[in-house]
Structures are given as C-alpha cells and as structure tokens.
C-alpha cells in the first residue's frame, strides 16, 4: 500500500486538472454573479408589484 501511495507523492499536479479547476471556478463565479443579478431583479419586480397593488387597494368600503 505504501508503495502505491508513494507514487503519488511529490509529483507535479496534472496540468489538465489545474485547467479544469480554473475553468470550474470561473464558471462558479459567473453563476454566483448571475444569481445575485437575478435576485436583485426579482427584488425590484416584487417591490414594483407591491407598489402597483397599493394603487388598486381601496382603504374604505366603496358602498356603505
């Protein structure tokens, strides 16, 4: 077992693996940015909807 593990110690990391990790990290950053942008847009739309709902809300009965 030790001989099998020894073969993996001290070797330089695989360039393909480093490139893949770099690509995935960039993708995660892009997705996090998109998530934040969509959340801000959702918050804006929710606020706008609440404002428009307030315009149509009657505070007192129309007929008494």
Integer-rounded Cα Rg, in Å, for the chain is 28
pTM summary value: 0.59
DSSP 8-state symbol, 8? T
Residue 51's pLDDT is what?
77
Judged by DSSP in three states, 1 sits in coil
Between 26 and 56, the higher pLDDT residue: 26
What is the tens place of the pLDDT at every residue in 23-46?
999 999 999 999 999 999 999 999
Where do we find the tokens 């909807």? 49
Percent of the chain at pLDDT exceeding 70: 62
pLDDT at 63: 65
Count of C-beta atoms within a 10 Å radius of residue 45: 10
pLDDT of residue 1: 55
* 48: helix, strand or coil: helix
């Amino acid at each position: 077992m030790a001989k099998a593990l020894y073969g993996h110690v001290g070797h330089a990391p695989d360039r393909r693996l480093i490139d893949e990790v770099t690509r995935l990290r960039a993708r995660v950053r892009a997705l996090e940015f998109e998530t934040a942008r969509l959340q801000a847009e959702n918050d804006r739309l929710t606020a706008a909807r609440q404002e428009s709902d307030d315009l149509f809300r009657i505070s007192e009965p129309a007929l008494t």
